[in-house]
Amino acid sequence: MENLYDILECDPSVSQEEVKRCYVNLVLKFHPDKSRSEDSAAFIKLKRAWDVLGNPVLRREYDARWKERCLVQDLPVQEEVEFSEFELIESCCSYCYPCRCGGDFILSEAEAKFHYDIVCCEICSLTVRVLYTDAGAASDSADPCMDVNLASYLTTACTFGKALNFILFFKQSIALGIVYVCLCLLHFVFLPQPVYEGPEKIVYFRGPNLQEELERDKRITWLVSFYAAWSPQCLTFAPIFSELSAEYGLDNLKFGKMDVSRYQQVADKFGINTSTWSKQLPTVILFQEGKEKIRRPVSTKKTTLKFPFTKENVVRDFELNEVYGQCKKNPLPSRRKDKDMTEAKKEN
């Protein structure tokens, strides 16, 4: 069982914010976009550690399992068993391996996820060490940076393909180039990209009214997507953001969008590059108490770290489940209640 705190180079007693700070510092160091290829394994381990310790619920569970692991680590190990030899029992969500006494060595799904390696028989005192070589390789082989939407790749490929065709047609003949441009215009007019038509709870900002809204009521948490209408990545992310707004939107947890390609001053204010080759579109920022709390993708002066904008990644990195729970517990008072409180203050 790996010590995930060692991977993140932090102490088990540190706060959640400190864990996040350590993770961000190491991501900037080991991210595949800016590090050597041999560092990719370290980045994958780092990501796996963050998936556990970055979630307060999983972190508490991991801490409990680690304490148990420390208590049994000195027990004599009779056998080493590959995790692949354990049988999944779906009815009880656990993995079992038969013991020679007739009992079973049992691993829960949580223990398997944490790579819990010392397991005792439920009947006798025999102990085995679980080897996670195959399971670990299976889970580690999937680079989190590859978890992207296929539609994004196809959209980008088609865009560059059209640009290349445009150049080739004009090289062949100006007349053919003009015809191709006309056909593309007709395609955009009569066959536009499908638009998400499902439910959404999104506020569309224009110009400086975003900052005004952030400062108007600091009790409201905002998740804002800064996008460009021409960006294929933004178009791909749009339905995902709409679904999230419909699922998580509350009176004090709101979702907003700002077209920074139209309002360059807003892009400059929030440090978002809107050029054609920008890797910062879309940029999603979580605001709490009127201040920026979390931003994806993370950017430095030299580089922008790639962030796959899938629904699962957004929920995890912006801690939407935790934020939603906090906002649900502390709803905004109704307007009627606010009015009654104001009148009561005036009477006093």
Residue closest to 123 by CA, chosen among 101, 95, 94: 101
Tell me if 125 is assigned to some domain: yes
Per-position DSSP letters for 35-74, written without gaps between them: S-GGGHHHHHHHHHHHHHHTSHHHHHHHHHHHHHHHHHTT
Residues 6+ apart with CB under 8 A from 269: 211
Question: In this predicted structure, what is the pLDDT of residue 186?
Answer: 86
Percent of residues in the chain assigned helix, strand, coil, to nearest 5? 50, 15, 30
Q: Decide: 258 and 205 in contact? Cβ < 8 Å.
A: yes
Residue closest to 147 by CA, chosen among 257, 51, 273: 51
Q: How far apart are CA 284 and CA 309, in angstroms?
A: 9
Question: In this predicted structure, what is the pLDDT of residue 208?
Answer: 77
Q: State whether 265 and 318 are in the same domain.
A: yes
Question: In this predicted structure, what is the pLDDT of residue 223?
Answer: 96
Tell me if 305 is assigned to some domain: yes
Residue closest to 255 by CA, chosen among 274, 270, 234, 241: 241
CATH number for the domain including 241?
Answer: 3.40.30.10
**How many independent structural domains does the chain possess?**
4
Tell me if 144 is assigned to some domain: no
Q: Decide: 126 and 98 in contact? Cβ < 8 Å.
A: no
pTM of structure: 0.53
Q: How far apart are CA 156 and CA 236, in angstroms?
A: 10
Token pair recorded at residue 185:
């215009």
Q: State whether 254 and 324 are in the same domain.
A: yes
Reduced to 3 states (helix: H, G, I; strand: E, B; else coil), residue 120 is strand
| Residue 62: other Cβ atoms inside 10 A | 23
What confidence tens digit (pLDDT) does each residue in 140-150 have? 434 444 444 45
Tell me if 210 is assigned to some domain: yes
Residue closest to 255 by CA, chosen among 180, 192, 327: 327
**Structural domain containing residue 41:** 4-69
Dihedral sign for Cα atoms in the order 270, 275, 276, 279: negative
| Mean pLDDT for back-to-back runs of 10 residues, the chain (348 residues) | 82 87 83 59 79 81 73 70 83 79 79 76 81 51 44 67 84 88 82 70 87 90 93 88 92 94 91 87 93 88 81 89 89 63 53
In the beta sheet, which residues pair with residue 107? 95
H/E stretch holding 100 reads none
Question: In this predicted structure, what is the pLDDT of residue 227?
Answer: 94
Q: State whether 255 and 236 are in the same domain.
A: yes
Q: State whether 60 and 89 are in the same domain.
A: no
Q: Do β-strands 253-259 and 221-227 pair in parallel, antiparallel, or remain unpaired?
A: parallel
Q: State whether 301 and 206 are in the same domain.
A: yes
Q: State whether 206 and 310 are in the same domain.
A: yes
Q: Decide: 120 and 126 in contact? Cβ < 8 Å.
A: yes
